[in-house]
Amino acid sequence: MQEILTVKNFVVIKKAEIELKKINIIIGPQANGKSLLAKLTYFFKSIPAIFIESIRSLDSKRELDAGILSQFESRFPRYSWDGTSFTIQYVAGEFTFVIEGKASKKGKTQLKLSYPESLLKLFNSKKISYKRKREGPQSDDPFMDDWRIMSKYVTGPLQAEYDFFKGQPIFIPASRSFFANLQKNIFTFLASSLEIDLFLKDFGRMYEQSKRFYTDPYLVTRSLPVIERHKDLVESIMSGTYKYEDDQDWLISKGRKINLANASSGQQESLPMLLVLMIWPSLRGSEPNDMYFIEEPEAHLFPTSQSRVVSLLSRIQHDCSSSFFITSHSPYILSAFNNLILAQDTIDLGRISIDEFIKVNGPSQPIKFEDVSAYTIDNGVSNPIADPEYRMIGADMLDGISEHFERVMNTLLSSEAEQ
pLDDT at 416: 62
Residues 362-377, buried b or exposed e (16+ Cβ, 10 A)?
A: eebbbbebeebbbbbb
Q: Cα–Cα distances in Å, from 343 out to 21, 196, 297, 380, 395?
A: 19, 43, 22, 33, 16
Residues 169 and 267 in one domain: no
Residue 407 is predicted with a pLDDT of 80
Give SS3 for 377. Answer: strand
- What pLDDT, on a 0 to 100 scale, did the predictor assign at position 245? 87
> What's the domain range around 116?
3-178+290-406
Residues 6+ away with beta carbon under 8 Å from 46: 71, 168, 169
Domain end marker among 227, 261, 286: 286
Residue 413 lies in a domain: no
With respect to residue 419, please indicate whether it lies within any of the assigned structural domains.
no
Q: Residue 115: CB partners within 8 Å, gap ≥ 6? A: 95, 96, 97, 98
Residues 148 and 204 both lie in one domain: no
Asked if residue 80 lies in contact with residue 107, where contact means CB atoms within 8 angstroms, the answer is no
Under DSSP, the state recorded for 104 is -
Q: What is the pLDDT of residue 214?
A: 78
Give the C-alpha separation, 327 to 25, whole Å: 6
In a domain, 418, yes or no: no
Specify whether 21 is located in the same domain as 162.
yes
SS3 (DSSP) at 338: helix
Domain count for the chain: 2
Last residue of a domain, one of 261, 286, 311: 286
- Containing H/E element for 248? strand 248-253
Residues 166 and 301 in one domain: yes
- What CA–CA distance (Å, rounded) separates 384 from 403? 21
Query: Is the domain of 394 the same as that of 259?
Result: no
Q: Is residue 209 part of a domain?
A: yes
Range with lowest mean pLDDT among 103-107, 195-199, 273-277, 334-338: 195-199
Do 305 and 362 lie in one domain? The reply is: yes
Residues 213 and 115 grouped into a single domain: no
Q: What is the pLDDT of residue 195?
A: 74
* 350 in any annotated domain: yes
Torsion sign, CA atoms 209, 215, 218, 222: positive
| Averaged confidence pLDDT in the chain | 90
Determine the pLDDT at residue 252.
94
Q: Are residues 260 and 299 in the same domain?
A: no
pLDDT at 221 over 70: no
Are residues 52 and 164 located together in one domain of the fold? yes
The 10s digit of each residue's pLDDT in 16-71 is 999 999 999 999 888 789 999 999 999 999 999 999 999 999 999 999 999 999 99
pLDDT, one tens digit per residue, over 342-395 is 999 999 999 999 999 999 999 999 999 999 999 999 999 999 999 999 999 987
Q: Rounded mean pLDDT of 246-267?
A: 91
The answer to whether the CB of 249 falls within 8 A of the CB of 263 is no
Same domain, 397 and 296: yes
Q: Are residues 194 and 114 in the same domain?
A: no
Which of 284, 266, 263, 260 is closest to 211 using CA atoms? 260
- pLDDT tier for residue 417 given thresholds of 50, 70 and 90: low
416 part of a folded domain? no
Residue 417 lies in a domain: no
The residue among 286, 321, 336 that closes a domain is: 286
Flag whether the pTM goes above 0.85: yes
**Does residue 336 belong to any structural domain of this protein?**
yes
CA distance 294 to 392: 21
Same domain for 304 and 275?
no
